[in-house]
Amino acid sequence: MGNLLIFGMGYTAQAIAGRLRAQGWTVRGTGSAGDIAFDDKGLVEAALAQATHLLSSVPPLREGGDPVLQTYGEAIAQAPLEAIGYLSSTGVYGDAGGAWVDESSVVGTGRRSARTQADLDWQALSSKVRVYRLPGIYGPGRSALERVAEGKAHRIDIPGQVFSRVHVEDIASGVIAGFAGPTGIYNLADDLPCSQNAVIEEAARLLGVAPPPMQSLEEANLSPMALAFYAENRRVANGKAKRLLGWKPAYPTYREGLRALSASTRPSMASADPASASTDQR
């Protein structure tokens, strides 16, 4: 079985860790849910020496630069790892005006300049790197169901606005498939980009409540993070991961994903603002 070291045991990384541990892997990680302090170089380097695989979900610093690469980049590049993974963001593509983007699309034109640089820096680190570009992430305790239940959901009147999203368990299966597949960049997104309004309306239907009223951006009084979320418009293609990794999302659209979440548990009170699923920490 493999031995995985994770930098940043956030929401998505914990889902990946859970799957691999169930398969018999050893998984260690930094962060509040991990067992190693990031700044304990002795422990980190000892874990790195034992690892067969590495994954980073740590976001870049606001002022730029990737903290994992800054601190451990040289050690990672020299370690005898079988595969290296980095959880990036489809935000690197910027605003596409609703058009489709794939792994060959231009990056660096949007608001995520620090993320774009980190994405490129990880690619340049080693020939063993897989970069996984993720759209809005949802899953247990972190979905439109919680936002609707808490009265925090918004429907914004922006005709033609579309987003892509992905269930956290589909990220986990894609990352694991990527470790055994070719190196490169992979978009892990579901099959149906759509408006945020459609997702909120489906969550309200499943909960048996009326959806929130339609509002303009000004009326919604959104946070700066949420406003930035609505400033970009794109559809994310996932064909490369399907072709090269044999990856197939278990939740091909938000409908299957929300239905499964609704059936499995009552919405918790732990959700964040509408843009949080597409931002960090992953």
Residue 228 has phi, psi (to 5 degrees) of -65, -35
Model confidence band, residue 275 (pLDDT cutoffs 50, 70, 90): very low
State yes or no: pLDDT of 278 exceeds 50.
no
pTM of the model: 0.93
Q: If you ran DSSP here, which 8-state letter would residue 250 be given? A: S
Q: What is the pLDDT of residue 110?
A: 74
State yes or no: pLDDT of 222 exceeds 90.
no
State yes or no: pLDDT of 41 exceeds 60.
yes
Q: What is the pLDDT of residue 221?
A: 87
The answer to whether 84 and 53 have CB atoms below 8 angstroms apart is yes
State yes or no: pLDDT of 254 exceeds 50.
yes
Q: What is the pLDDT of residue 188?
A: 98
Model confidence band, residue 109 (pLDDT cutoffs 50, 70, 90): confident
159 CB-contact burial (10 Å; exposed 0-12 / middle 13-18 / buried 19+): exposed
Amino acid at site 193: P
Radius of gyration of the chain (CA): 18
Tens-digit pLDDT profile for residues 74-100: 999 999 999 999 999 999 999 999 999
- Least confident window among 64-68, 126-130, 228-232: 228-232
Q: What is the mean pLDDT of residues 244-269?
A: 88
Query: Which residues make beta-bridge pairs with 131?
Result: 86, 185
State yes or no: pLDDT of 276 exceeds 60.
no
Amino acid at site 86: Y
Q: What is the mean pLDDT of residues 221-233?
A: 87
Q: If you ran DSSP here, which 8-state letter would residue 120 be given? A: H
248 CB-contact burial (10 Å; exposed 0-12 / middle 13-18 / buried 19+): middle
Catalogue all structural domains in the chain, each as residue range(s) with its CATH number: 3-278 (3.40.50.720)
Q: What is the mean pLDDT of residues 148-175?
A: 96
Tokens at 139, concatenated: 């899953």
241 CB-contact burial (10 Å; exposed 0-12 / middle 13-18 / buried 19+): buried
Tokens at 48, concatenated: 């790195």
Taking alpha carbons only, the member of 258, 236, 43, 29 closest to residue 138 is 258
Tokens at 114, concatenated: 């620090």
Tokens at 259, concatenated: 């239905």
Tens-digit pLDDT profile for residues 42-71: 999 999 999 999 999 999 998 879 999 999
Separation between Cα atoms, residue 239 and residue 85, nearest integer Å: 19
Residue that has been written with the tokens 């055994």 in this structure: 180
Quote the mean pLDDT of the chain: 92
- Least confident window among 95-99, 112-116, 154-158: 112-116
pLDDT top residue among 12 and 231? 12
- 35, 44, 138 from 253: Cα distances, Å: 35, 38, 12
Q: What is the pLDDT of residue 267?
A: 43
Query: Cα dihedral sign for 261, 262, 263, 269?
Result: positive
Q: What is the pLDDT of residue 265?
A: 64
Q: What is the pLDDT of residue 269?
A: 31
Residue that has been written with the tokens 């606005």 in this structure: 161
pLDDT top residue among 279 and 169? 169
